[in-house]
Structures are given as C-alpha cells and as structure tokens.
A and B are shown apart, each in its own frame.
Chain A
C-alpha cells in the first residue's frame, strides 16, 4: 500500500528542510522515493495547510518498570479519569494502554524509559510491551551495583569494565546506560546520607567522579551512540550546580548527557538559600561540545516523583503530597523511591524551579544539545508538552504566567529578560532530529528515503500553538494512519530499540560465579534473550548500530 502526503509544509531538520512544501511517499512502513513507485497510490492525504514533521521522540520518560508500577498502585485514589476511550488510570501514573494512547495522540512515536534496573529489566520490557503504538527502549542503570563497584575497588581494567557494560546492554536489551546519583544509592544502603562528587563511599572507597569517568569511557570505547545518561549527585539540593559542573568534568571531555538538568541547576544564594544557577549551567552547555542535556521542566500541579535515587527520595519524603511514599533497596543492583508531590505556583521554591527550567531552555544556544522533557512524571506528566512548547514559543504567554508567581520571584530569575521565542524549526530539532541523533536511531526523527514512516501532521491553521501540538490531524506509525483528527484509527505495537556492542565473553564467567555466590537467581535467568523478548515479553527488538567495533 502506498500513501502520499501531499504538499505539506515539511520540517525535517536532519535534512536541513524547514517549512518547505514537499510530497512524501510511504510504502511498507518506510518513506520511499517517488521514482521507485511502480503501483498505484492507495491513499492521498492533502497536507496543503498542514505542517509535517517526523514523529516526536521522548528520550526520557518513566513509562515502565517497578517504580512506575509502585506509583500506579500507591496513587489509586487518583485513578478516576475515565473519558470513554481510556481506562480510568490517572495521567500522573497512567496504565500502559493510556500511556500509548496519550503519546500517540500528541504525535509522539518513540519513547525511552531512562531507568531500567538490570534486575528489573524483564518487567520494564513486559510493561512497555503493553504500551500500544510507540517504539520504546531503555537505559540500563549501572554505577550503584555491587559487582561494578567491586570491579572498581579491585582496580579492574577499563577493558573489563567495558565488557561488563556491553554485557549489561545485551542482557537487559537496553539502548544505553544511565547512572543515577553515582555510587550514592549504594552508599545509602550503608547509611551514608549524601555523597559528593569527590567524596568516597565508606564501604567501597570510590568517588562518584571515578564512576562517571569509567562509565563515560566504556560507552565511548564500545561505540554506543547514546552518551552516558547521568542523573548527577545531589539532586534537588541548593547549591548543586557546582557538583553538576564537577560531574561534567568527570567525563574528561568524552560525550556525556545530563538528564533533568533543571533539578541540578540550583544555587544557594539569596535570603532563602535557594537560587537559579541556570546561567552557570548554560554557559557550560553552550561551550562544551560533547555535552547534551534534557531539561526536566516542572509544571504546577499534582504529580508523582519516581527515581532510582533512593538516597535523595528518602530525603524528599518529608515533602510527600499526599503523605505517603516508598523507598526500596534492590538486589545489590540499585534502588528506587516513589514520592507523590504537588508543585505549587505560590511556593517560592516551586516557582523558581519552573523559571529555572525555562531559563535553561532559553539560554541554550544550540537546540541540538537540549531536549524537551518534563522527566515524566517527575516534573509533570508528558501530556504537558504542548503547554511547554507554547511557553517556549510565546514570550507574552510565558510572562503572563511568570507575573502570577509569588511576589519577589522576579528578583531571583532572569526569565523576564529573556526575549527569545523558539521557532518551529527549533522545536522540530529538539523533539525529533536531535533525540534521534543522540540515541543513534538512524531511521527515526527524519524523513529521509528509507526511514521509518513515523510522521506527525499538524494543522497549520490552528492559532493556538499548544492546541496544534496537542491535537495533530494525522499520526502515522510505521506508515499506518493510527490517529486521524484526534480519533484512534488503528492499534499498532512498536518495537524495542537496543544496541549490542561486542565484548569478551569471559566476563560472563566471572559474573556467573558472582551470581552463584551472592545473587538469588542465576545468571542465565538474568539474561533476557532475543527470542524471549518476542515470545514471552511481547516486544520484538530492533538492534541499532554502534559507532565503532570493539577495540581488541
């Protein structure tokens, strides 16, 4: 079947196409060249007054895994949002089906779970398998597991660490590696309550800097496209911008991605001991070539925070709203914490957090280096993306909200002085082309011949940009029209994106012995095999290329 998207105003940043009238042809789920068409065109969609972009990509959204399910379970009283098409789960902790439906309705076609605990990976993939429409993937958590820390303590070679990292990517069917509060989650298990970048953990005698340094090197050596995805030390603590900068330095110039950087950009100046350090962080972002970040914008309202960072979540439990929370130590592997939270516009701290996120967006000179996220649901549910886009594109709208925030907030933010308004070109970069590029998804985020036909078509005539991004006229997934004028036309099920760098298999022997002695499952069961992903988990994999082959 051939589909023709006719005369759309196309935004395809990877191909340097911005608002150019173009035709797009689709066959068998791929974008094809008009010249290759041999049969009749089955469907023509008139896009004359439409904006056509690749399907959007969310590179950091908590959509699957143990902590997400704890939140769903904990917040039962919020599950009352039945609207005819969906189940009644709340958007702050949506069911898998609601997750898929809400994402596809907004034109998002690929989403990535950033905190896939290796030991919990089977569950995370099984959950994500039940999310309809979208392609997905995850970043495996390392840097707090006892095996890795033992390697570092015993001065294991970088090549052995590389082998372990590659093994984890394979065993957990992941696309990348994330480190959360490097070493801090493990230290919390030994009753350490804080761990700064150059502070040694009491048990392993290792600093977060060493962990970040070893892992960024491993990712680089293995040729994994996505740089180490880092949730820095000291999340949410006033003055943490300094440790954020030190974490950047720990990468020693190698590629590094800092996630939900808004939560890591706090100063401790002023009468309240809490201030914006967005300028300082943005200066680094703008000057360091190999540094990327996603923002983790907060929005006002009820949400739930969920994180692998049990150290910081335990600290945060005092702010829980409603008053309940959960933390967990997990399998000598990682941890997690779930704390419901309500961001309030009349709270000085929350208002400044809102402003800091926007400052970072607006101070970023290169939209290829900063990605639009709310760290769903930590900053806000992902359904607030259209509102966030409007905040970025419409200064007067932004300032109207800013002016309603607590008196005195203007003295603590430069937001009102930032005149910048994002363009559609920039939005298309930061929500499509840039995340595809940083994740190494060659067939996503662009409209090149041979790419996946994941395409979103917006109504150009809509005056309200938030409305336009919230309600695309058409969404195509793998060439199928799955949304038409806000209505679901067809259910499809995406695939799981992975990478599989080469490694020396002898690491499995070492690890097998460790599992036999210390774990409560065997290594063979820990590994999620490719065919298991299809037959049992329910999510076939797509293996993306690594940049380089393993160095011998």
Chain B
C-alpha cells in the first residue's frame, strides 16, 4: 500500500512495454510521474478526476457494492448466453474470468483479438524467428520498422530499445534504422539525429513486393522506391550482423491483406537466417492482449474466443467473435472487464451490459450496472506480460483509493 507523500516505483500497466523504471510521487490518492517521459500524460490520466466513478452505478444511480453484486448475480442467472469481453486485465483477473466462464458456460473474447490473431496466425501457419526487447537493444545493428503507429502505441520503444544509451554487443551509434511507411517528421528527425536513417515512404500493401525484391537480383519496380534505394537497402541488410524487423499488426488492418504483409515479413526473416542472423519483433498488447493470450493458451490451449461447453473450453474464431456476437445479438449479456483501457467502451443498448472497470471508464451508452475496480499496477499488484511474450512483470500498487480488484468481484459472481 502506498505511503503518504512518497516516491514509488511504478511498473506501468498501460502499454505492452510495461516499463518498470518509472518513479511516481504519490500522496496515497493521487500520483504524478517524476520524470519527463513521453507517456507521462497517459499514465497520469488514470488519476481520479471529477468525471471518475468510484461507486457502483445501476442505471446511472449509485448503489452499494453488495447490492450491485446481488443484482449482477440475478442478471447472470436469468440470461442464457453470456459473453465476457476482456478490455485488459492482469493474470489473477484472467484466472477468475476463466473460473467464472466455466461456472456459467460463457464465451470469452478479448477486444483486440482481431489484431492478436494476425500475429498468432503466422505462428499457426508457418512459424517464424522472433526476438525480444533486450536482444534488440543489445544485438541489433539494423532495425526495420514497418508501419507508422508503432511509436504511438509504445512511446518509449525508441529510447529504451531501438536507440538505447547502452548496448552490449552492437555499436549503438552505428545502427541503421529503416522506416517503411509514412512516418511523422518528428519521429524521422529524432531517429536521424541518433543513427543512420533510411526512409522508405511506400504504401504498406507494397511491403511484400519490396521484400521480394530485396531477395532477388532484380525485381519489379515499386512506386516510391528507386533502384538505387533498393541497392542501398540490400547493402545495409547484407552487412548486418543482427537485423530486427518490428511492426504492430494493428497498423496493417486497413490494408487489403494484413496477413500477407505479416507473412512476407516473417518469410523474409526466415530466409535471411539461412546465411545471417535476423529476427522479428512484433509489437502488440496495448490492452494486456499478450497477458490474455498467454494465460488463456496455457489454461485452455487457445488464445482467445473460447466457450465453456460440457466440461471443456471450445474455440471458434468466427462463432465466438465478440463483434459478431453483439451485433447479431447472439448473446444476451455482455460482461465487460476493463481495468486499463483508455478507450470508450461500446455499449449496445439492445442487450444487457455490465462493466467491471476502472473509475475513469467511459461508455458510448450507460451500462446496466457498473462496478468500479482498481487498476492493476496502480491500485493493486498483479502480473502482466510484455509485448515480446517472454517477459512478465510484477505490477505494484502506488495508491489506495479503497476500490476492490476485479478478481475479487469476479470470484463473488462465480
């Protein structure tokens, strides 16, 4: 529990880097980030403010927690098809979701499954060669970044991993960074000031063609890439001792075939490894998607979109897609679990909606019942998984606003 007016170490739950080097000043109720880091504002936005809801609400009126739980139990018992929609939660909460689902034969989906399945798809189709944040920091001499929103999602990726102060085995000042896509000028400048930058401004649908060309003597012309640029790229890549490609699958979702872009990147890296070392580092998990997919996989065999039927969990990527289920009203109750999401929760008024969420949760429409819960890493301890899937962090608590955690609520409902 947080002390009055103290400086505490925050292990950040709000993006998939889960940085654990952040200090906050806290009086027990409010916290402020000490350092001037790029995601400071985002972290502080979870402080209680005049719009926060710290009491359970039913039809927008305050009720007691015990009444809220009683009402939810009644609703749960009177509904046939329950969808648990995970908007982000840590490991203990996930265990409770699984337990609840097994008691009530519920469906479970994660709000980011459609992005998650893009990267999982390649594992299930062909596999690939992956690397992790620390490997990239210490070994990479060439980094290819594909897509331009990756730095919005993981603001400290450049400072902590791509262009760090220290690197064990690579010359950090001699790194090549190749940006593929349409990157903001600010990012380009920042990178250019610190390493060798090559900027390939192309439509991401052309990435598979570009990667094909890089493996051939001569390929077909690609709009936005001159022959000289291709030669330059081939030269950088062939001299590379450890090349890393990084992307966020969500960047490709507006493209024609995101899975083909990802397949082409992974295939390219696999081919490079015939003679040299290279690896992929997909960035994902802004809403604890990695935590969810990891824990669900070890507990059921499947990363998401599962339903408990006759003593076991079944998986169906289409049938248990939350978007379809809600839009087609194939479920009659949605239980939203949202402990870290900054996004507005979509409430379809045609079906019952219960939200167990952090106090600053916002909605498109008011849910039938809302129970505010603490934020893992702010109000209570927990475990979350980083984007690279191999590192999990122990979240700490930095404030005490006397809210229950979602696990305890779910366990009462089960």
Contact = CB atoms under 8 A, between A and B. Distances in A.
Given A66-B389, A520-B161, A326 B128 contact: yes
30 contacts: A73-B120, A82-B310, A84-B310, A86-B311, A88-B314, A89-B301, A96-B299, A97-B299, A120-B391, A122-B393, A123-B294, A126-B295, A126-B392, A189-B135, A191-B241, A191-B277, A203-B169, A323-B126, A329-B129, A329-B279, A331-B135, A331-B388, A331-B391, A332-B139, A332-B168, A517-B165, A517-B166, A520-B134, A521-B393, A536-B91
A191 B238 CA distance: 13
A76 B301 contact: yes
A15 interface: no
B127 A74 contact: yes
Given A85-B311, A88-B312, A522 B124 contact: no
B67 interface: no
B134 A519 contact: yes
B21 interface: yes
A87 B300 contact: yes
Interface residues of B, number: 65
B359 interface: no
A539 interface: no
Contact of B392 (A122, A328, A522): A122
Given A117-B390, A190-B277, A332 B301 contact: no
B25 interface: no
Given A120-B390, A314-B273, A521-B20, A328 B120 contact: no
Contacts of A324: 123-127
A383 to B, nearest CB: 16
Interface stretch (B207-215, B342-350, B378-386): B378-386
Interface of B is mostly: mixed
B92 interface: yes
Nearest to B293: A73
A79 B302 contact: yes
A263 B190 CA distance: 50
B113 to A, nearest CB: 13
Most interface-central of B276, B298, B311 (chain A CB within 10 A) = B298
Interface in A328-366: 328-333, 338
Interface in A116-147: 117, 119-120, 122-123, 126-127, 130, 146
A79 B303 contact: no
Most interface-central of B21, B92, B134, B165 (chain A CB within 10 A) = B134
A88 B132 CA distance: 31
A88 to B, nearest CB: 5
A190 B20 CA distance: 29
B135 A190 contact: no
Contacts of A110: none
A73 B297 contact: yes
B149 interface: no
Given A87-B300, A522-B20, A536-B394, 9 more contacts: A74-B124, A82-B312, A89-B300, A90-B301, A120-B390, A122-B394, A320-B127, A330-B132, A528-B394
B268 interface: no
A532 interface: yes
Contact of A329 (B120, B128, B132, B161): B132
Given A88-B301, A190-B241, A323-B126, A518 B390 contact: no
B133 interface: yes
A69 interface: yes
B137 interface: yes
A408 B133 CA distance: 50
Contact of B299 (A95, A146, A519): A95
Contacts of B161: 520
A528 B310 CA distance: 37
Interface in A89-121: 89-90, 93-97, 117, 119-120
Interface in B299-317: 299-303, 310-315
B130 interface: yes
Contacts of B160: 520
Nearest to A68: B298
B247 interface: no
Nearest to B389: A66
A521 B9 CA distance: 12
B266 to A, nearest CB: 10
Given A331-B132, A331-B135, A95 B300 contact: yes
B27 interface: no
B242 to A, nearest CB: 7
A130 B302 contact: no
B11 A525 contact: yes
B123 A532 contact: no
A469 interface: no
B175 interface: no
Given A189-B242, A190-B241, A84 B311 contact: yes
Contacts of B302: 76, 79
Contacts of B301: 72, 76, 79, 87-90, 93-95
B7 interface: no
A522 B123 contact: no
A73 B302 CA distance: 6
Contacts of A146: 138, 168-169
B131 interface: yes
B114 interface: no
Nearest to A515: B134
B30 interface: no
B277 A189 contact: yes
Nearest to A331: B134
B95 interface: yes
A70 B303 CA distance: 11
Contact of B315 (A79, A84, A93): A79
A280 to B, nearest CB: 34
Interface in A40-69: 64, 66, 68-69
Contacts of B293: 73
Contacts of B385: 123
A278 interface: no
A535 interface: yes
Nearest to A96: B298
Contacts of A385: none
A87 B313 CA distance: 6
A542 to B, nearest CB: 21
A17 B120 CA distance: 52
A126 B296 CA distance: 12
A521 B395 CA distance: 12
B414 to A, nearest CB: 15
A518 B299 contact: no
Q: Which 3 A-B pairs have the closest CB atoms?
A: A89-B301, A326-B127, A87-B312
Given A122-B383, A126-B392, A146-B168, A73 B126 contact: no
A332 B166 CA distance: 14
Interface in B213-267: 241-242
Contacts of A96: 298-299
Interface in B148-192: 160-161, 165-169
A123 B315 contact: no
Contacts of B382: 536
A117 B313 CA distance: 29
B138 A326 contact: no
Contacts of A323: 126
A274 B304 CA distance: 44
Given A69-B297, A76-B124, A87-B300, A123 B392 contact: yes
Contact of A119 (B95, B276, B390): B390
Contacts of A87: 300-301, 312-313
A324 B313 CA distance: 25
A73 B124 contact: yes
A82 B312 CA distance: 7
Given A88-B314, A520-B160, A332 B123 contact: no
Contacts of A520: 17, 133-134, 137, 160-161, 391
Nearest to B275: A191
Contacts of B17: 520
A537 interface: yes
Interface in B7-39: 9, 11, 17, 20-21
